[in-house]
C-alpha cells in the first residue's frame, strides 16, 4: 500500500491505522469544522471527515489522504466532547441505561478523487449511578472523547453491549476502511 497521510491528531486513530499499514504520517487539518445547514447528525461526521481530508490534500495533492470524524448520537442529537465536568456528567447521565449510535465518517482523497462513507455502531449502556459517573469524570478520561466516554478505557465498564464495529466506536472502522482503501486504490489501476 502506498504512503498515506492521516488528517487526524487522535492517538486512537493512529493506533488503529497501524492495523492496516505502518506507512503513514500524521498531518493535522486546521480546517474550520463548520457544518452546512440542514445536515443530519448521521451525515455530519462524513461531511467533517471530507473537510479535514480536503484541507490537507490542498498542500499534498499527490498523496493519499484519510480524514475521519466520530460523533455520538442520542435521540437525534450529537453529543460532542464535554466542555467541563458538568457537561460530562449531563452527557453520561443522558447515556445511562440507553442505546446510542456512534458514527464515524471517513474520507479518502488522492489526485482529485474522493470516496467518503459513514459507519454506524449501536452501543447500549448499563444504568449508571451518580457515583459511577463522578468517579469516571474524576479519572479525566471523558474530556477528549465524543459523548464523554472511551470504550477502550474505563468507559468500557458502562457498556452492556454493542451491535457493529467495536473499532468504529474508538474512532476508525478499520475493517471497512481497509476494504474502501483497496477499492479506491484498485480504481487507480483501472
Buried b (16+ CB within 10 A) or exposed e, 61-88: eebbbbbbbbbbbbeeebbeebeeeebb
Instruction: Note whether 24 and 4 are within 8 A (CB).
Output: yes
The answer to whether 78 and 44 are in contact (CB under 8 A) is yes
Residue 95 CA to residue 183 CA, distance in Å, equals 36
- Per-residue pLDDT tens digits for 103-124: 999 999 999 899 999 999 999 9
For 62-96, what is each residue's pLDDT tens digit? 899 999 999 999 999 999 899 999 999 999 999 99
The whole-model pTM stands at 0.93
Q: Domains plus CATH for the chain?
A: 4-188 (3.90.950.10)
65 in Cβ contact with 110 (< 8 Å): yes
* Of 69, 111, 144, 188, catalytic: 69
Q: Are 116 and 104 in contact (CB under 8 A)?
A: no
Residue 69 designated active-site:
yes
CA distance 169 to 112: 29
Q: Give the tens place of pLDDT for each residue, 152-168.
A: 999 999 999 999 999 99
Cell of 10: 487522535
Amino acid at each position: 500500500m502506498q504512503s498515506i497521510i492521516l488528517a487526524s491528531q487522535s492517538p486512537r486513530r493512529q493506533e488503529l491505522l497501524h492495523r492496516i499499514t505502518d506507512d503513514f504520517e500524521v498531518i493535522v487539518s486546521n480546517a474550520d469544522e463548520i457544518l452546512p445547514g440542514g445536515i443530519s447528525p448521521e451525515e455530519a461526521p462524513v461531511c467533517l471527515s471530507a473537510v479535514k481530508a480536503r484541507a490537507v490534500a490542498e498542500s499534498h495533492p499527490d498523496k493519499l489522504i484519510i480524514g475521519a470524524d466520530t460523533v455520538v448520537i442520542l435521540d437525534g442529537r450529537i453529543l460532542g466532547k464535554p466542555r467541563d465536568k458538568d457537561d460530562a456528567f449531563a452527557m453520561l447521565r443522558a447515556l445511562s441505561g440507553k442505546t446510542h449510535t456512534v458514527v464515524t465518517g471517513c474520507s479518502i482523497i488522492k489526485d482529485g478523487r474522493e470516496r467518503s462513507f459513514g459507519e454506524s455502531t449501536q452501543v447500549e449502556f448499563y444504568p449508571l449511578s451518580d457515583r459511577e459517573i463522578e468517579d469516571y469524570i474524576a479519572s479525566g478520561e471523558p474530556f477528549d472523547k465524543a459523548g464523554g466516554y472511551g470504550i477502550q478505557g474505563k468507559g468500557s465498564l458502562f457498556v452492556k453491549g454493542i451491535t457493529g464495529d467495536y473499532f468504529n466506536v474508538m474512532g476508525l472502522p478499520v475493517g471497512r476502511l481497509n476494504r474502501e482503501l483497496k477499492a479506491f486504490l484498485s480504481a487507480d489501476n483501472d
